[in-house]
């Protein structure tokens, strides 16, 4: 009986030692679990912040794309207007040169007609003078 008692006491001591060891391990695991949960919470918070920042950046990008599209539209419109004005100017200059040439031609014809009329009057005067001398 005494041997059994000694054996039971030895088993009891071993179990108490194991219990102490398990409690220490459990405390260590609990600390690690808390640390891991803290890290998870910190990462979740950082992810939320990054997601919010990404959303803001996407909104800014969309706004900038819209402004770029609008600016490109204005640029295209202004370029087309400039080209149209340049074409109108070229056509107007061409028309002006054509009209100048026509005026010069008409003035030349008028001068020729005036000279021819003057020559014809002189010739008629000579004929009239010559006819008067005949009679």
Q: What is the pLDDT of residues 68-81, one digit of tens each?
A: 999 999 999 999 99
Q: What is the mean pLDDT of the chain?
A: 92
* Residue-wise pLDDT tens digits, 19-53: 988 888 877 778 888 888 999 999 999 999 999 99
Q: Is the pLDDT of residue 135 over 70?
A: no
Q: Quote the CA–CA distance of 59 and 78 in Å, as a whole number.
A: 29
- Number of helices followed by number of strands (H, E) in the chain: 1, 0
* Token digits of residue 61: 């990008």
Q: Is the pLDDT of residue 129 over 90?
A: no
Residue 131's pLDDT is what? 76
Q: Quote the CA–CA distance of 13 and 34 in Å, as a whole number.
A: 31
């Amino acid at each position: 009986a005494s041997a059994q008692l000694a054996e039971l006491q030895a088993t009891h001591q071993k179990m108490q030692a194991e219990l102490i060891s398990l409690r220490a391990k459990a405390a260590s695991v609990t600390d690690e679990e808390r640390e891991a949960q803290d890290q998870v919470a910190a990462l979740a918070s950082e992810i939320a912040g990054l997601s919010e920042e990404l959303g803001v950046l996407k909104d800014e990008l969309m706004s900038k794309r819209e402004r770029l599209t609008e600016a490109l539209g204005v640029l295209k419109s202004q370029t087309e207007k400039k080209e149209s004005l340049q074409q109108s100017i070229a056509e107007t200059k061409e028309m002006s040169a054509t009209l100048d040439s026509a005026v010069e031609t008409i003035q030349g014809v008028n001068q020729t007609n005036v000279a021819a009329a003057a020559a014809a009057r002189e010739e008629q005067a000579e004929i009239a003078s010559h006819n008067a001398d005949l009679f």
